[in-house]
Chains A and B, each alone.
Chain A
Amino acid sequence: MVRRQGRTVSKTYVHAPGFVAGDRPKIVTSRFEFADSYTLERYLATDGYKGLRAALSRPANEVHEDVKSATVLGRGGAGFPAGVKWGLTPQQVWPRYLVVNGDESEPGTYKDRLLMECDPHQLIEGCLIACYAAGLSQCFLYIRGEMAVAQERVAAALNEAYAAGYIGKNILGSKFSVDIILHWGAGAYVVGEETALIESLEGNRGMPRLKPPFFPAANGLYGQPTIVNNVETLANLPWLLNHGVAAYTAIGTKTSPGTRMIAVSGHVKRPGVYEIINGTTTFRDLIYGQEFCGGIRNGNALKAFVPGGGSAPWFTPDQLDLPFEASQVGPAGSMLGSGAVMVMDETTDIPAAALTLTHFYAHESCGKCTPCREGGTWLERILRRVVDGDGTDADLQQLLEVGAMICPGAFPHAANEKLGLQAVAFPYKMTTICFVGPSAFAPVHSALTLFRSEFEARVKKRVTIPVTAVGVSV
């Protein structure tokens, strides 16, 4: 920590690109300051595997109880408490598996890769604690395919940990035995969805399964009870076991305890990944705070921001004072998602920005559900036409109608004082299995709702009458 003139100045580390440290509690990023943070040596020198030892000294169900009472929220997107998730496994059905979701690819999200590259042992220790607590007999650590360095660091760490007796048979001389198998994907965003991840791990096309009946906790990998946890979620466990529930819940709020990693990208002065206090830190703190992003580039005005990864409906400056607390962000019309804030300043071409996201989700559709496969591409084609200046007024209406085929009913959006808009709370209704289809519509809907004038300026003032046959238009 560097203190200058009595105030904290955040510091970035060359070996943890994008990460910005600060004078805040560090649960998962405490070792990022060391250049050799990914080695077993450094890990052991900084409380490494102490959480595991603490866990092994107690019965499994007590460890599980700790995770439950600490309310460790899932960091992958849905924010479901990990301890509760583990408890959803049916009694006396064996074997059970742990699948670690390291397929980080939600637009704007950048944290799991850091955790894997900079502190792989912390993740491994988290996996071991989870397996011990929930009786999981094999762990699959699924890393996104396009992350060669993360794969190398985790592979090396696993090799070190196996050799040192932290993984495998009779860990640290106990009855606890588990293998951790390193596995990596091959480029498909949708595989980040837990049931698709399981399909992929079974060697199949990564197409999501319908929940129910395919809730992984009951019916997951090979049809067995399976816990799918995000990398950051598991990375919290060593600290929790080491310092105890009270220390953990002392940070943050009751419903959102601890910290969480947030990547802020786009038009801010100091984009980066910040470990923030959960529940209390606001978007204003993060975007404008001096120990965080320090405001918008060039002193520009903020136009809009995406609060929780590319799938999330957008916010405008009206929502800056909301904290990172799901119970407040949901009613305000969006979600916290995967901890990714994308900031757009006043110079942003809103329809074009929305197009990058709609293109992303249309491109990443697995093709299983008709509304997503056909509707996503259709949305993208209409929107591209509009962005290219070839659209019509009717196209804007058509965008909303195609969207309604994916998400029927009112779609969530933020309140806006200037436009006189009341918020529509999250979540949306959907005709698809997973959220990829709705996510193709979310940016279109937000952009059209909050910045309709920009679209209108883009389209020719020409109305196309809906036609019944292709090629016949007025």
Chain B
Amino acid sequence: MTIVDPTKESAVDPSVVNITINNKPVVARKGEFIIAAADRTDDFIPRFCYHPRMSSVGMCRQCLVEVETPRGPMIVVSCMTPVVEGQIVRTTTDSVKKAQEGVLELLLANHPLDCPVCDKGGECPLQDQAFSHGPGESRFVEEKRHYEKPIAISDIVYLDRERCILCDQCTRFADEVAGDALITFTSRGNDTQVLTFPDEPFSSYFSGNTVQICPVGALTAKPYRFKARPWDLEQTESTCTSCSVGCRTVVQSSRDELVRYQGVDIDPVNWGWLCDRGRYNFESVNSPDRLTTPLVKTGTELAATSWSVALETTARMIRLALAGNANSVAILGGARGTNEDAFAWAMLADKLGIDQRDSQLGDGLSPEVFNLAQATIDETCTASTIILLAPDLKEELPVLYLRVRDAAQKRKSRIIEVSARDSGLTPHAWRTVGFEPGHQAQAVREALSTPEMKEQLARGQVVVVVGRPNLAENEMFTLQALAEVFVAEPSVKVLPVLRRGNVRGAIAAGLTPQNNSGDAIDILNAAAAGKIDCLILLGADPMADVPDSGLVQRAFTQVKNLISIDTMINDSNRNADVILPAAAYGEKNGTTTNLEGRISNVAQKITPRGTSRPDWMIATELSISLGVDIGVSSLEDLNSKLVGAVAAFAPSIDAKSTHGDGVLMARETPVTISGNLSRAIDRNAYNLRLVVSRTMYDSAGSTVSSPSLAGIVTDAAIFVNPLDLGRIGVAEGTNVRVGAEGTNIVIVIKSHNGVHRGTAWLPFNHTGVDIRPLLNISSDVVDVRIEPIK
């Protein structure tokens, strides 16, 4: 049906086509366009509307080249003319030169000459190509087009229509790639302009990509406007760790401050795209709230002190706790650092005999999912069937959402979504299977038993994307549902989507419960029972992330010494006894592991703020203070120790290498999963069953301390199906009382078509009302009663 875009690799026939470009033989791929073949040679064809990751529109007409035809040489657009065997292409003849100069002169006709004050100046494709392929002078003496400049089209993006050359890159991206057709061409002809619908902003999670691909300075982003000039920028390639997709980025700084991230196109992961949270939360690294010096509690106040004092104090606390019992020390966190950070802390824990460690915070899944047959992102996106037992990818793993959406839209993968709530991928799902939390496995068993589904599963590779869709539902239900998929189709592969940046690397490096000790929830329970004397928070904020704030509070009250290694003060470490300032993203080198097990580097671009330092260095210094030297002399040394000690990291790249694609972890022989079917008790008809999940802009520290993003975070609210709203008898937007097992909160209620009847959706960790009192980690599911406030 839909025409497969020949620029995309999977559509390309492996057979080659031989053409010549400027008399030089070029081996082209069947089905690709001339411009793509030329991009592998030294002959640059100028272009504005062509983007290799989007379908060609051939509208700027800049990429005109000459092709030999039976009727003589023809001028064609190279971005939409496929290669054919024996084709003769010329890109530098007089007629090509004249045509290209003509188009450039026309593009410049209405383009303002404000390069000196334009953010794009110096890295502007229009400017560059005007120099390289332009006519050298303009004969356009008439008045140029005038528009109000610039206008804010979202909280982040500004649009200057005078600079716009109408290349369709942003509008095409919004529609075709992001699925948020919120900007569009309007009017016609010479009056054509890009606009949003009046008073409906371009509130896409991916809006920053349009700024990056804009070939002129028409689209600019608030965080970078007038911050730097391209020739002042220093940059290094890195990997984003805002979530576990691991998008490839370029980190740019000016005067030792981060000023911009740009997406880098790598085939296996992000194709050049970034989400706005990952793109703009660098502002938090520059935040004035960053910790710059160690803090130690004296009396009731945290006071600044030296590293030697702080390390000694920390060592004393650990030693004291260990003196009684090795089980009285526990480590939570480590998923936001590098593989090396995690490994250094794991080595330290090994030396000290600390088994109680967990880099997950009760909001993930059992690490056994990593032992199942694994799929990569690419394998997922080329599978015949993709089964989603996952959180809303658009909210939690945004660029993976783009990849899966693309698979469904352009590659004919069929999505079977098993979800208690509609997600960003629901419109693209081939079939959706709804269920009430607690009944997930039954729903999967029943759904996959129909002839239609069986036929679909037999069509080719099946990949299950599995994560934690609902923080108010015991993870065992998801694991049982996963087991049901294995029953239906044993050859299935799994893409685990645990969301925290380097959770997979941290677990592999050893920050996971050892010797059958308990997980984070067990650790917190033990602490609440007074069994933990010293709790170390390694970049973890359990108050924000553990879906049971009561438990965390009880644990913190009982713990004698709370030690935090973090970049900022948060709700968890506000009352710590010691806080050691950690270097943030962009301030340290190392490697990270994404959700599919891809190891790639993260890079230092700026000096760590104050005296903050990487987690691994803190572990090393602490090991010396504790007299159990882990023997790390440098990051390189640590990396080679990691590669030697942990089989998964054997193919690991050098910590400082900048090999873009990274390498996949070594995989062990997969095991299989089985589970006994259990189900939660049925819901009382008066109650609603809770679905608690994250949205992209929640109160995460890196979001709220990034000024450009902080304003986008919305206040907490409870969402129900419009029909349930009617049944409860309250108006949209009013306050209601939401009660569960003896606690209740007062919160605004809203209706949402994507919330299934009989359930209520609470976005986790938003500003305003704290919803966590409703959650109790020991219950399988949470039912709430919503009442009007009289």
Contacts and interface: CB of A to CB of B under 8 A. Distances in A.
Interface of A: 188, 205, 207, 210, 212-213, 219, 222-224, 362-371, 373-378, 381, 398, 401, 404-405, 408-409, 429-433, 466-468, 470-471, 473
Which of B105, B106, B107 has the largest count of A CB atoms less than 10 A from its CB? B106
Contacts of A219: 3
Nearest to A398: B139
Contacts of B62: 370
B300 to A, nearest CB: 66
Chain B's interface size range is 35 or more
Interface string B85-103: 0000000000100110011
Given A365-B189, A374-B190, A401 B139 contact: yes
B142 interface: yes
Given A369-B61, A370-B103, A375-B106, A210 B190 contact: no
B190 A431 contact: no
Contacts of B190: 362, 365, 367, 373-374, 376-377
A29 to B, nearest CB: 35
Q: Say what secondary structure dominates the interface of chain B.
A: loop
A433 B76 CA distance: 10
A312 B61 CA distance: 23
Contacts of B189: 362-367, 373, 376-377
B188 A431 contact: no
B671 interface: no
Given A223-B3, A367-B192, A374-B110, 15 more contacts: A210-B57, A210-B77, A224-B1, A366-B192, A367-B190, A369-B61, A370-B62, A381-B142, A405-B102, A405-B106, A409-B95, A429-B75, A468-B137, A470-B141, A473-B141
B36 to A, nearest CB: 14
Contacts of B3: 213, 219, 223
Interface in B64-90: 64, 74-75, 77, 80, 82
Interface in B45-68: 57-62, 64
Contacts of A210: 57-58, 77, 80
B61 A378 contact: no
Contact of B105 (A212, A405, A467, A473): A405
Q: Which 6 A-B pairs have the closest CB atoms?
A: A405-B102, A367-B192, A365-B189, A374-B106, A377-B190, A468-B137
A381 B80 CA distance: 32
B140 interface: yes
A374 B165 CA distance: 10
Given A368-B59, A370-B59, A370-B62, A378 B109 contact: yes
Contact of B138 (A366, A373, A470): A470
B60 to A, nearest CB: 5
Contacts of A432: 61
B2 interface: yes
B107 A378 contact: no
Given A371-B102, A373-B190, A408 B138 contact: no
Nearest to B1: A223
Interface in B164-197: 165-166, 185, 187-192
Contacts of A373: 166, 189-190, 192
A405 B192 CA distance: 20
A245 B374 CA distance: 66
A213 B62 CA distance: 18
Contacts of A401: 139
B138 A370 contact: no
A408 B59 contact: no
A370 B165 contact: yes
Chain A binding surface SS class: loop
A326 to B, nearest CB: 17
Nearest to A205: B185
A219 B139 CA distance: 40
12 contacts: A365-B190, A370-B165, A373-B192, A378-B109, A378-B140, A405-B105, A405-B106, A408-B75, A408-B99, A429-B75, A431-B103, A470-B138
A378 B142 contact: yes
A310 to B, nearest CB: 16
Contacts of B142: 378, 381
A367 B59 CA distance: 9
Interface string B1-41: 11100000000000000000000000000000000000000
A401 B139 CA distance: 10
A432 B80 CA distance: 13
Contacts of B82: 212-213
Nearest to A473: B141
A138 B400 CA distance: 39
Nearest to A187: B188
Nearest to A364: B189
A187 B126 CA distance: 33
Q: Which of A219, A363, A370 has the most CB of B within 10 A?
A: A370
B410 to A, nearest CB: 12
Contacts of B107: 370, 374
B106 A367 contact: no
B221 to A, nearest CB: 26
Contacts of B60: 369-370
A10 B141 CA distance: 53
Given A364-B189, A367-B189, A377-B190, A408 B98 contact: yes
Contacts of A409: 95
Contacts of A473: 141
A374 B75 contact: no
Interface in B135-175: 137-142, 165-166
B75 A223 contact: no
A334 B59 CA distance: 27
Given A381-B142, A408-B75, A367 B185 contact: yes
A207 B106 CA distance: 19
Contact of B166 (A364, A367, A398, A404): A367
Given A205-B185, A373-B192, A431 B80 contact: no
B185 A467 contact: no
A405 B103 CA distance: 7
Contacts of A376: 189-190
Contact of B102 (A365, A381, A404): A404
B104 to A, nearest CB: 9
A14 to B, nearest CB: 37
A70 to B, nearest CB: 28
A401 B74 CA distance: 20
Given A213-B80, A374-B110, A431-B75, A367 B102 contact: no
Contact of A365 (B74, B139, B188): B188
A210 B58 CA distance: 7
Contacts of A405: 99, 102-103, 105-106
Contacts of A368: 57, 59
A112 to B, nearest CB: 23
A371 B60 CA distance: 8
Contacts of B64: 431
A51 B584 CA distance: 80
Nearest to B166: A367
Nearest to A433: B58
A430 B109 CA distance: 19
Nearest to A468: B137
Nearest to B105: A405
Residue among B59, B137, B189 with the highest chain A CB neighbour number at 10 A: B189
A243 to B, nearest CB: 38
B188 A366 contact: yes
Contacts of A467: 137, 139, 141
A188 B188 contact: yes
B106 A370 contact: yes
B480 to A, nearest CB: 41
A427 to B, nearest CB: 11
Interface in B574-595: none
A433 B138 CA distance: 24
Nearest to B137: A468
A314 to B, nearest CB: 24
A321 B141 CA distance: 43
A129 to B, nearest CB: 28
